[in-house]
Structure 1
Amino acid sequence: MLFSAGLGMSAVLRLVLLARELQAAGHEVRFSAPARARHRVVRAGLVPVLAAPQQFSRAWRPDLVVHDPLCPDSTATAAESGVPTIGYLPYAHPPLSPRPTVWIDPCPPPLRQRPEPSAWQVRCDAYELPPQPTPQLTELSLLPRVCITGVPTGTRPEDRRRARLFRRVAEGAESLGLQLVVLTGDAQPWSVVLRGSAAIVHGGDEASVYAAARYGVSQLVLPAGEEERRAGKRLEQAGIGLCLSDDDLAGAASSMLRLRFRLAELLNGGRLLPAAAELGRSIARMPQPAELVHRVEALARQQGN
């Protein structure tokens, strides 16, 4: 079975979980991923593909392809393979065509704007390596913990503008006496940092949305673009988060007061915290990747019949 992931680390780490389960069930698995992600594939106990995915697929002739439907190379590999294909349904961005034989949907149902009726549901987990160094955190803290991730580091004017917005949010959190944890990189130890956290601030990316939902944490989205803004609005509609932009915090005199009010709303106000916690409990009851193995095997057998 050939797995083909795209540029996003979150796609790689989500596919790794299913690949490991299929390999443990006795299947021959190969995993195509960008060079910067191959060390995670290897440390997960999988065999990475070093050639171009389409070239490797033609030579290796898989019985089934599981792919990232946002990556042109992965989608082309699946389309050319001539075997059953499985695509992980994206959260915010529209997938590329053609459609796979089967969709796997890791998105919690309350957050999916347009459900795919025939998709296989799976819990929105991602493979994690032990963090280096391990964050020294406890599940219980005297102060509510807020995680901040996805702070822009680019030099474009829009990156600098959003970085300032993240800094203002951090200042607002500190002014409320909250415990701050700032995360960097694109592969976070979510199970460590989100257990015991009350809220997370991020840019609306799929990995952060899913991780916070999985651990029952309320979310504040500072969107990077229109797709991320729509993702943030879906969190608001589901009652588990807020979405803010530069315009929401315009005006130096009153913006910090408004920001502090919104942060307090995330941590103490009304329905956000209990709704996020209830969503986390419902996600914990969803199928795990191991529960999809027999369905994947049945799909692959169709190729041999």
Structure 2
Amino acid sequence: MRVLMTALVPSHLMPMVPLTWALRAAGHEVLVAGDTDVVRSARAAGLDGRLIGGSGTTRQQQTRPGAVTMVGRGALEQRAESEWAAVGARWRHRLGGYLDDFVALGRAWQPDLVVTDPVEFGGLIVAGALGVPGVVHRYGPDDITGPLLRQAVVQLRDLAREYGSADGFPAPALLVDPSPPSLLPEGEDDPSLLTRYIPYSGTAELPAWAIEPPERPRVLVCLGMWHGRHIAETGTLPPGFRHVLDACAQLGAEAVLPIDAEYHPLLGELPATVRVVDRFPIGPLLRHTAVTVHHGGSGTTMTSFVAGVPQLVLPGDKPFLQTTARLVERSGGGISLAGEEQQHDPRLVRQALADLLGEEHHRKAARAVGAEIAGLPGPTELVRTLEGLI
């Protein structure tokens, strides 16, 4: 079996990497198509990649999904028809930057199957053009995949037909969801196949401190990509995360802050209990981590649950991250400070962190979700399901 895989951005590719390894181990071929960053990430994971649409600033702008992915299901379904038409125009502009290359690659490589993330609509258009099954692989808990795909049927119908998909924008043959039942959003009715989440966020040479047990409780603080832009623009950490670092010092905990080295000089003076390191995979750190603090990204959320580590989520004003934060809190395995007023209050931040460090019921709940994840069928079983689609 020959599988063509694509993702809009590297973070969307990461949850699919364990599946690619299972496909390769079963004797199948995998080719990852995407922009420069996606192909670079594929190569780092030991996978073959193919650049589509060129590279550089223009390509990066064209492949950004747009603000539509930055909202939750409620806001999506409340959009007026004219708003969706404007969104569709942005989608068509983005796809126009590389769809010719993508379809040509598909016709040359002749895959039996296309696997794509939920917002890289080009993957399903290529599958429709080639007449092969298209599979959508979610990156974790979300409540936007269904509404977006339903709108793609409307907004991208003519574009898909131009490239040879006779029935317009095709429905996926399968939706793969690496989430346990307890983390499915309320009212989730998409016919997804649940599969076990296997953490992967790259590889690194681990320093001794990452392997040895710490002398004091360790809090792992993970910032999102837009937090880097905030630091670059303001020269400061976002207030909520700054309060977390201060609270760690007050509570006698060690804070580990993995962040790109370019931002280190901009962080200013930090408590002595903070260890600032260059960004690297968080999975190995979680063995000795008491609490993770993050913005609500699905990768950090799911990796923390796999390790049974309770979480403090600071999603800011982004509804799709607030969805994840709400699910974390609903599980009992974490606390969400969703509003900016909450996140900017140092007393609330300190109390939430103290509860997570001191209350055992959060850890028990996180471990229960981890056990639920471990009980789901893994990539090997998913490979058999994909083989059955051919």
TM range (shorter): 0.7 to 0.9
Matched AA of 2:306? R
Tell me how far 1:158 sits from its aligned partner.
Answer: 10
Aligned CA-pair RMSD: 2.7
Which structure 2 residues correspond to residues 77-116 of structure 1 after superposition, within 5 A?
77-90=126-139, 91-92=141-142, 94-95=144-145, 96-97=148-149, 98-113=170-185, 114-116=187-189
Counterpart selection for 1:137 from 210, 215, 219 = 210
Post-superposition Cα deviations, 1:235-285, rounded to whole Å, max 9, x if no partner, equal 1111111111321155xxxx3333221111111125211101221122223
Question: In the alignment, what sits opposite 1:303?
Answer: none
Q: Match of 2:287, SS?
A: coil
The verdict on how the C-alpha distance between 1:172 and 1:187 changes in structure 2, with shifts beyond 3 A counting, is closer
Tell me how far 1:233 sits from its aligned partner.
Answer: 1.2
The verdict on how the C-alpha distance between 1:179 and 1:166 changes in structure 2, with shifts beyond 3 A counting, is same
Question: In the alignment, what sits opposite 1:55?
Answer: 104
Which segment drifts farther, 282-291 or 227-236? Answer: 282-291
Matched AA of 1:278? A
The verdict on how the C-alpha distance between 1:223 and 1:150 changes in structure 2, with shifts beyond 3 A counting, is same
Count residues with an aligned counterpart.
296
Residue 322 of structure 2 corresponds to residue 229 of structure 1: yes
Q: What TM-score do you get using the length of structure 1 for normalisation?
A: 0.86
Counterpart selection for 2:241 from 157, 163, 166 = 166
Tell me how far 1:110 sits from its aligned partner.
Answer: 0.7
Tell me how far 1:211 sits from its aligned partner.
Answer: 0.9
| Whole-angstrom distance in 2 between the partners of 1:141 and 1:122 | 33
Which segment drifts farther, 178-187 or 54-63? Answer: 178-187
% of aligned pairs identical?
29
Tell me how far 1:27 sits from its aligned partner.
Answer: 1.7
Tell me how far 1:156 sits from its aligned partner.
Answer: 9.0
Question: In the alignment, what sits opposite 2:367?
Answer: 277
| Whole-angstrom distance in 2 between the partners of 1:139 and 1:287 | 32
Which segment drifts farther, 231-240 or 138-147? Answer: 138-147
Question: In the alignment, what sits opposite 1:39?
Answer: 40
Question: In the alignment, what sits opposite 2:98?
Answer: none
Question: In the alignment, what sits opposite 2:283?
Answer: 191
Q: Match of 1:49, SS?
A: strand
Question: In the alignment, what sits opposite 1:74?
Answer: 123
Unpaired runs of at least 5, structure 2: 53-100, 150-169, 261-277
Question: In the alignment, what sits opposite 2:275?
Answer: none
Tell me how far 1:23 sits from its aligned partner.
Answer: 1.9
Unpaired runs of at least 5, structure 1: 301-305
The verdict on how the C-alpha distance between 1:135 and 1:290 changes in structure 2, with shifts beyond 3 A counting, is farther
| Whole-angstrom distance in 1 between the partners of 2:332 and 2:255 | 23
Which segment drifts farther, 198-207 or 29-38? Answer: 29-38
Q: Match of 2:239, SS?
A: helix
| Whole-angstrom distance in 2 between the partners of 1:146 and 1:159 | 25
Question: In the alignment, what sits opposite 2:380?
Answer: 290
Tell me how far 1:174 sits from its aligned partner.
Answer: 1.6
More helix by share: 2
Which structure 2 residues correspond to residues 194-209 of structure 1 after superposition, within 5 A?
194-209=286-301
| Whole-angstrom distance in 2 between the partners of 1:172 and 1:134 | 26
Residue 358 of structure 2 corresponds to residue 268 of structure 1: yes
Q: Match of 1:165, SS?
A: helix
The verdict on how the C-alpha distance between 1:93 and 1:139 changes in structure 2, with shifts beyond 3 A counting, is farther
Tell me how far 1:161 sits from its aligned partner.
Answer: 8.5
| Whole-angstrom distance in 2 between the partners of 1:40 and 1:201 | 25
Matched AA of 2:289? S
Q: Match of 2:229, SS?
A: coil
Q: What TM-score do you get using the length of structure 2 for normalisation?
A: 0.69
| Whole-angstrom distance in 2 between the partners of 1:291 and 1:191 | 23
Matched AA of 1:94? I
| Whole-angstrom distance in 1 between the partners of 2:122 and 2:190 | 27
The verdict on how the C-alpha distance between 1:134 and 1:36 changes in structure 2, with shifts beyond 3 A counting, is farther
The verdict on how the C-alpha distance between 1:274 and 1:27 changes in structure 2, with shifts beyond 3 A counting, is same
Question: In the alignment, what sits opposite 2:57?
Answer: none
Residue 349 of structure 2 corresponds to residue 259 of structure 1: yes
| Whole-angstrom distance in 2 between the partners of 1:180 and 1:205 | 19
Which structure 2 residues correspond to residues 121-132 of structure 1 after superposition, within 5 A?
121-132=194-205
Query: Is contact 1:122-1:288 (8 Å) kept?
Result: yes
Counterpart selection for 2:341 from 247, 253, 258 = 247
Q: Match of 2:367, SS?
A: helix
Post-superposition Cα deviations, 1:183-227, rounded to whole Å, max 9, x if no partner, equal 225984232111121111111111111111111111111114111
